[in-house]
Amino acid sequence: MEELTYDELRRIHAREKGPTISAIQPDFYEFAGRLLATYDRSNASGMREYNNVLKMLKYIYYRRLEKIVNSSISSFRGVDTPPEMLPRERELYERIVFLVKSDERSVDDVMLCHPDALCEPDEKPPVVENREAFAKVKISKDVDEFVGLNGKTYGPYRVNDEVELPPEEAESLVRMESAVRIRKE
């Protein structure tokens, strides 16, 4: 991209209305600044055009930010990081993931090492799920995201996905004919 045009900005704006973060040039915001500088703000017409472009740019920024925050939260459920992030957005994403992980550890400390527990501050029990307690199922109908009995979010799953779930959630999907059990090898 040599210069960002109004038409290209409108296309990017339309793409960002979708659910996934779209690919844009790494220097998009620099080009956006140059585009803004081309508008004559000394008259009403130029000012109106400038404000319209600025609104679109702000929408793109905040929509991408929203998707980055949602992706950072989804990363804890095993959802892949969107590759379309700009370097500055990836840095923000990694900082958010770090902060959420730190907060989760703090909450775990409060819950697991409360005053009645036999737990020294430097000997905190690790929060590890017993993989033996999971049941493997093959999804037979699309399943939307849901919250399990343990408070964790699972899904969404698509037909033919093979997933490991806590036994209660796996059994529930089997009863609803949304999954079939897979024998462990």
Q: Residue ranges per domain, the chain?
A: 1-126, 131-181
Give the pLDDT of residue 110. 76
* One fold for 1-126 and 131-181: no
Give the pLDDT of residue 106. 81
The Cα 30–Cα 99 span in angstroms is 28
Give the pLDDT of residue 140. 94
Per CATH, the architecture of 1-126 is what? Up-down Bundle (1.20)
Residue type, 123: E
Give the pLDDT of residue 34. 95
Q: Tell me how far the alpha carbon of residue 35 is from its chain's centroid.
A: 30
Give the pLDDT of residue 154. 87
Give the pLDDT of residue 37. 94
What residues form DSSP beta bridges with 137?
A: 163, 181
Per-residue pLDDT 10s for the chain (185 aa) are: 689 999 999 999 999 999 889 999 999 999 999 999 999 999 999 999 999 999 999 999 999 999 998 888 887 777 778 888 999 998 998 898 888 888 888 887 777 776 665 555 555 444 544 545 788 899 999 998 888 777 788 889 999 999 988 888 888 899 889 999 997 65
Give the pLDDT of residue 74. 80
> How many other β-carbons are positioned within 10 Å of the β-carbon of residue 42?
7
- Vertex 13, ends 11 and 17: CA angle to 5°? 115
> How many other β-carbons are positioned within 10 Å of the β-carbon of residue 86?
18
Domain over 131-181 is classified CATH 2.40.160.40 = no
Give the pLDDT of residue 76. 74
Give the pLDDT of residue 102. 84
Rg, the chain, Cα only: 23
